[in-house]
Amino acid sequence: MNYLITLLFLLLSASANILSLSDISWFAILLFMVIYAISKKMLLQKDMKLIGLFMLVYLVYVVLRNLLITNLESQYLISDLIFPFKYVLLSFIYVVIMREKTMDYLVKVIVQLTIIGFVFYAIQLVAGDLIYNFSESLGLPKANTIPGYTNFVIFSFTKGRHDYRNSGFVWEPGAYGCFMIIALFFNLLKDKFKFYKNSMILIAGIITTFSTTDYFALLILLFLAYRYRVPKFNLWILVMIPSVVLLILFVPFLGDKIAGIYTDDMDGLKHLKEISQYHLKHNEQIPLNRFASMSYIWDNIGSGLLLGLSNKYDEILNKTYNVNISNGIFDFLAKFGVIGLFFLVYSYVKFCAAFLKKNEFIVYSVLIFLVISFGEPILFLPLVLLFLFLPYITNIGSGQEDDIAIKYGLSNLDR
């Protein structure tokens, strides 16, 4: 049952398939998880107090924001009121059910989905656009509104310029890499930064995404692993740091790509009207890259980012141009403001501090978190919202979870 619940939780978080697209299926799965937790008497009094306090503070926050600051139409406030009962509650009830098994099962299922993804990725490389064209002919639903993606629940096939990249079970290669980065981080925390089978599978999966931001996050995570295993500064540290800098500067896929993306993004914003006419003609959204998304949100919202506008802020932006935002940090700021982002990062730091006793290691962990969220809008997903509850509901990091992992067969056998 724990495996099935984790699989359903991840498929909803993936925001790519028919389950995550349909509110009916979403709430059916959520209701199933709530009933299961209640029937097994998993909901404790302290859990109810925690979610009750969170909901109260959140609802007061968004209502006052709307009434006193933004003064938006009722549809935006309604969306803000629905959000915690859909996304936050799903994360909460999942942590309540899994508790100290949360990290183990997430790693286990993501690793197995990664292995399955390798098979479909190979088919994509060999078959080219065949599967994509077949899916389009069937009219299968998909979450990614940018042309060139189609989803088969556990794998998203791509077409065109991304046909060499692995999207796995998530909506896009970069987002898929974020999921694997989180799973790898969990796995290394559990294994005290020793690299076993699961870690190597996840690293291989991350490499197949060809995502620059995920590669950066992986480099930071590998450096964190080294510093954890070798806490004393030595000659290798002095060699590694400039080596990484040189790698960024001289490897075209890293440094040149970032510089090129920034230049193209800024140039594209200057010609947004002309670009909009093309995409409007083809009934498509304008895909704004990381830097363009950041600049566009800042230009249109500005000081409103302190408190955020609304969970549906994109509808406000799209009254001028129909854009697709791909910067996760500024997407979250536009939704919930600096205050919301601060609380999420604070909870994440509290979670990391249970495993990593040095401030240096926590800084690296926060950098990983910010890098992957800068690249993709993932901060509002249930997989990330888990951090709102992991430090408060579970005993993760206390050492008790090791005994639980052995009890449920999730120890070295799965590494």
The residue behind tokens 């890098």 is: 371
- Angle, alpha carbons 11-380-285 (nearest 5°): 85
Long-range pairs of 356-360 with CB within 8 A, sequence gap ≥ 24: 356/189, 356/228, 358/231, 360/227
The predicted structure's pLDDT at residue 348:
96
Domain limits, the chain:
2-260+326-414
Residue 296 tokens read as 């566009």
Spacing of C-alpha 17 from chain mean position: 15
* Torsion sign (Cα): 301, 305, 310, 311: positive
Enter the DSSP assignment of 66: I
* Of residues 36, 152, 51, 48, the one with CA closest to residue 97: 36
DSSP 346-366: HHHHHHHHTT--SHHHHHHHH
Look at residue 302 and give its three-state secondary structure: helix
Look at residue 14 and give its three-state secondary structure: coil
The predicted structure's pLDDT at residue 300:
87
The per-residue pLDDT for range 135-181, each reduced to its tens digit, is 777 777 666 666 778 878 888 888 775 678 999 999 889 999 999 99
Residue 225: left if φ>0, alpha if ψ -120 to 50, beta else—which one?
alpha
d(CA 340, CA 88): 13
Which parts of the chain register pLDDT below 70?
141-146, 161-162, 233-271, 273-274, 276-284, 397-415
* Torsion sign (Cα): 403, 406, 408, 412: positive
CB 265 within 8 A of CB 289: yes
The separation between the first and the last C-alpha atoms of the chain, rounded to the nearest angstrom, is 21
d(CA 79, CA 316): 13
Spacing of C-alpha 120 from chain mean position: 22
**Which DSSP helix (H) or strand (E) runs through 126?**
helix 102-127
